[in-house]
């Protein structure tokens, strides 16, 4: 424990919030709207504030997009794979970012 910090404060940040959002989203994938909403709320609380929570929402989306793009480009047809990866990223990002962002803003405001 750091002696310069009050005992009731907690460590948080965009990376910690993003990890929580990613894990909870994977566990609650079967709840179409409420899974990302719950994941955003918990991740926003762990991030520690609204600004960090918003950053935490977009961090997994960017990592996933880069991963899909690289994975798609590594196939035998790099152009087709890259376009497929980018399209899959957009579909996943658009479907999940809305409720995740709303939950993150609420959770960050309550942190």
What percentage of residues in the chain have a pLDDT greater than 70?
86
pTM of the shown model: 0.71
**Residue 106's pLDDT band (cuts 50, 70, 90):** very high
Max Cα–Cα distance, the chain, nearest Å: 57
How far apart CA 107 and CA 5 sit, in angstroms, is: 23
pLDDT of residue 87: 80
Closest Cα to residue 103, out of 54, 62, 61?
54
Burial class (CB in 10 A: 0-12, 13-18, 19+), 5: exposed
How far apart CA 80 and CA 88 sit, in angstroms, is: 12
CB 9, CB 15: distance < 8 Å: no
């Amino acid at each position: 424990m750091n002696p310069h910090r009050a005992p009731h404060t907690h460590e948080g940040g965009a990376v910690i919030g993003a990890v929580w959002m990613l894990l909870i989203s994977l566990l609650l994938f079967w709840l179409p709207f409420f899974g990302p909403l719950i994941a955003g709320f918990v991740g926003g609380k762990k991030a520690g504030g609204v600004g960090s929570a918003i950053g935490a929402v977009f961090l997994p989306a960017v990592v996933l997009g880069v991963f899909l793009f690289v994975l798609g480009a590594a196939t035998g047809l790099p152009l087709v794979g890259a376009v497929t990866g980018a399209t899959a990223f957009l579909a996943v990002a658009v479907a999940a970012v809305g409720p995740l962002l709303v939950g993150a803003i609420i959770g960050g405001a309550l942190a």
